[in-house]
Structure 1
Amino acid sequence: MRQMSTIGIGRRKNASPWSQERIKELFNNIPVKTDQADINIIEVDKLEGEASASNRKGKLIFFYEWDITIQWSGKLKDGSDRMFSGKIKIPNLSEENDISDLDIQISVTDEDEEGFKLKQIMQQVGKDLVRTQLALYISGLKEEFSQGMILPKKGEVKPDVVKTITSGFNKKISMEPVINVEQKQTGVKIATTTIKQTHKFQCTAQEIYDALMRTELVIAFTKGDVKLEPVKGGKFELFGGNIVGSFDELVPAKKIVKQWRYKQWPAGHYSTVTLNLEQKSDHTEVVLEQIGVPTADAEVTKENWQRYYWDAIKQTFGFGAFFT
């Protein structure tokens, strides 16, 4: 097990007990959705490691390292109705390893023809579910332990004026629809405008880029199903299909350009959203420019960006603690 350096660290919170409870909760009787079999992740069989949150020079440092073994069971829908069991091993869940690159090992107790098929299904579908659940653990860890951890440098400002921006996202949400009856008329030219916003996040540019572009992290802050192809020309669908579009340009940690529309906008009408990410010494600045927003919907579109994107990201990942 790695040892965490304590040089330059101020406050430190032990996140291990909370983490153990949360990880066990996330893998307690979870169905693996597939048309080929009835499979359930049953429970955590082994959980060894530690987690903590620390303040280092005004920045939050999250440390976690876990060795996890999970039990699963299932049977093929077109098989002999025989129940099989197996295990999922994650030997090194840590902040040093990206969720998408995790070593997830699937095994089945009896690897005959049916057992092998079940193992293949778990390889194809079960691993994605495991990654999604672990992403929820990581985002929850940052949310739970960011409160009160960002303290100012000596002589700048007192701790009691530290504010953490939250949005109260604790349940599944659906994007507030934008409906304008007049705009539904096909062939009618609509007036459009441009939206500009600037937001600060207490994280690196890569971290905010990942929050916007990695499927498991987008699922975490939108609290719903996500379809996302993070490549140029790739499509995305968020908030139950209420927001759809495609990517024009992707520069990791720098820039995102996409064609973006509300489902309720006139057929075929897209706006162009450009997000420029600039990493500063102690935060990252995100500048949004959205061209082609129907004028009648401009205000609610601004409000939805604030509520369902920026506030949700800050609350979910702990990127929103600043001094005032």
Structure 2
Amino acid sequence: MAKLGEGDARWIVQDRPDGVNVNNWHWTEKDMMPWSKKRLQELFSGLDLVPGNTLISAQATGVDKVEGEAIVNNRKNKLIPSYELEVSIPFEGTVKDGDGHVAGSVKGSVLFPYISDENADEDPEVRVSTSSQGSAEQRVKDAVLTKGKKVLYDSIRQFVAELRRGGTISSDANQAAPNRTAQQSQPAAAAPQQAAQQAQQAQPEKTHEKKQQKADGTQAIELEERFYARPSDLYECFTNAHRVQGFTQSPATIEPKEGGQFSMFGGSLSGRFTQLQPPSRLAMDWRFSNWEDGVLSKVQIDLSEPQAGTTELKLKHSSIPYQDRYGHGDVVENVRRGWEGQIFQRIKAVFGYGI
């Protein structure tokens, strides 16, 4: 990731006396760190990390560290974010006994060591620590790591979606915010019409894969990839839980039968098998956790062996929604990057199937 101000001078807009960027042809860079610090402070001030628990409470008190870089580039009204952030969130908690009396008070912090555009398709790593060790501290820590993970991830997803739109906060994004304590006020900024138009125009650059816009508003992509492996080897990379966990480096559950459920990347991706024809074809219903509830896309993978020991994979991924639940409109590009970077390239690297 290029640092702010270190882009190629041939593409960065220089100051002009008339202040005009003709046809928005060149790149413009916007430093998003000031906005990021302010927005993260808003999202994590008073956030209830253990909702619905009457005996254990934990409340975020803002952020005490936001380090790294966040930039949004704009070329011809296309917004291209680039960010790498480390975020620390302090919290205070209590543990009550069976009679409702406070049995212990706890202070701790949640650390996101790496929030980046490179892992935008995955839930980032999260670490929870407390200032001291004891029974109460352990109970609060466990609660935050279980019940609180969804709340934390929802807030991070909302932040990333707003960052990718250029830092504007829409009323829809505010409505999607997790529950907060009564003392926490909700941000009321609304996205200007111009920013909304720019977000709609922020389509990805053309890539080698085929893309289609369907009449129902969904999208489709087709990809082809070659592997130095047999079709049965690639088939197992999608139907064998040990292999899936091997290249994703995260928890996975796989039920390899038609109608069987699967979950990858710690639950951020899930679905079910609709067709299994080993070793040449798989079809799946496929969804990401940040899509609207009930939204399913369709995946078909065909495997052939044009040469001995070389497998050609053809992927058709259809019914991809245009937006996720947070109004983020580059879902199809994230899906493409996920297949290429998080699945195909990882399979090649981990199992040595690269050509």
TM-score, L = length of structure 2? 0.45
- More RCO (CA 8 Å, sep 6+): 1
